[in-house]
Chain A
Amino acid sequence: DAGVTQSPTHLIKTRGQQVTLRCSPKSGHDTVSWYQQALGQGPQFIFQYYEEEERQRGNFPDRFSGHQFPNYSSELNVNALLLGDSALYLCASSWDTNSPLHFGNGTRLTVT
């Protein structure tokens, strides 16, 4: 039973570029949440997808967008990258809003 998988593991981009991160949820989970974790901080909620719709959004600018596909996998897109976007991006899946989150290994994004 595969857990949450994310790709790529690491990514280096330059300012102004765009990036797409991918996530496949744990089998049986239909809700996908994305978090950004800066060094030394707790994960910050970006947004959550359910039934291919963005259901909830945290305090992140419109440069951050996402998508969920019919198979529940999800993408996170970040446009016009800033140095401050350098962080670990975590995808988590769950089977409802009150159940524990299961995290993927994360994508470490470095913006130079």
Chain B
Amino acid sequence: RKEVEQDPGPFNVPEGATVAFNCTYSNSASQSFFWYRQDCRKEPKLLMSVYSSGNEDGRFTAQLNRASQYISLLIRDSKLSDSATYLCVVGPYNNNDMRFGAGTRLTVKP
């Protein structure tokens, strides 16, 4: 089983749609969870942290399910500017480092 696994997509959705991404992780001792956004040929940028009780930031909602070892990201009212690759990040592994999923590519179309 991969350490952090994501559906690679691509997800192609119209503007205004709601889209959800899931990510599973293998290390049950993981304590930190994040979603990053990466635009083409750019560096990853933190989108939001994921907290145990779930959290929301505007149109974005993140959830954590420790029992099933997955996290999710929900994007409501998709915008063209949401088109990017979304990376799931989990850690620490081996006590220190963060591990990334391969990313889920989202394209929002007019």
Give A contacts to B, CB under 8 Å: 33, 35, 40-45, 48, 50, 55-56, 58, 88, 90, 97-106, 108
Q: Are A106 and B43 in contact, CB atoms less than 8 angstroms apart?
A: yes
- Assembly CA distance A50 to B101 (angstroms): 24
Bound-complex Cα distance A102 to B44 (A)? 8
**Chain B residue with minimal CB distance to A102?**
B46
Q: In the complex, which residues of chain A have a beta carbon less than 8 angstroms from the beta carbon of B46?
A: 100-102
B97 lies within 8 A of A48 (CB): yes
In the docked arrangement, what's the CA distance between A43 and B46, Å? 14
> What is the distance, in angstroms, from A70's C-beta to the closest C-beta of chain B?
20
What does the 1/0 interface line of B22-51 toward A look like (CB < 8 Å)? 000000000110100000011111100100
- Please tell me if the beta carbons of B96 and A101 are within 8 angstroms of each other in the complex: no
Residues of A within 8 A of B49 (CB): 100
Stretch touching chain A among B12-20, B60-68, B73-81, B84-92: B84-92
A41 & B97 in contact (Cβ 8 Å cutoff): no
Given A90-B44, A105-B43; A56-B96 close (CB under 8 Å): yes
Complex contacts, A101 vs chain B, CB 8 Å: 34, 44, 46, 89, 98
Known: A97-B92, A98-B92, A101-B89. A33 touches B98 (CB 8 A): yes
Q: List 21 A-B contacts (CB under 8 A).
A: A33-B97, A40-B102, A42-B4, A42-B101, A42-B102, A43-B100, A48-B97, A56-B94, A90-B43, A90-B44, A97-B92, A97-B96, A97-B97, A98-B92, A99-B32, A101-B89, A101-B98, A103-B43, A104-B43, A105-B42, A106-B42
Residue in B closest to A41 when the chains form the complex, CB atoms:
B102
Other-chain contact of A97, B4, B42, B91 (Cβ < 8 Å): B91
Which of A33, A43, A44, A50 is the one whose CB lies under 8 Å from B44? A43
Residues of chain B lying within 8 A (CB to CB) of residue A100:
34, 46, 49
**B95 CB–A CB distance under 8 Å:** yes
Task: Give B46's nearest chain A residue, CB to CB.
Answer: A100
Task: Let me know if B100 and A58 touch, CB within 8 A.
Answer: no
Give the complex CA separation of A44 and B100 in angstroms.
7
B99 within 8 A of A: yes
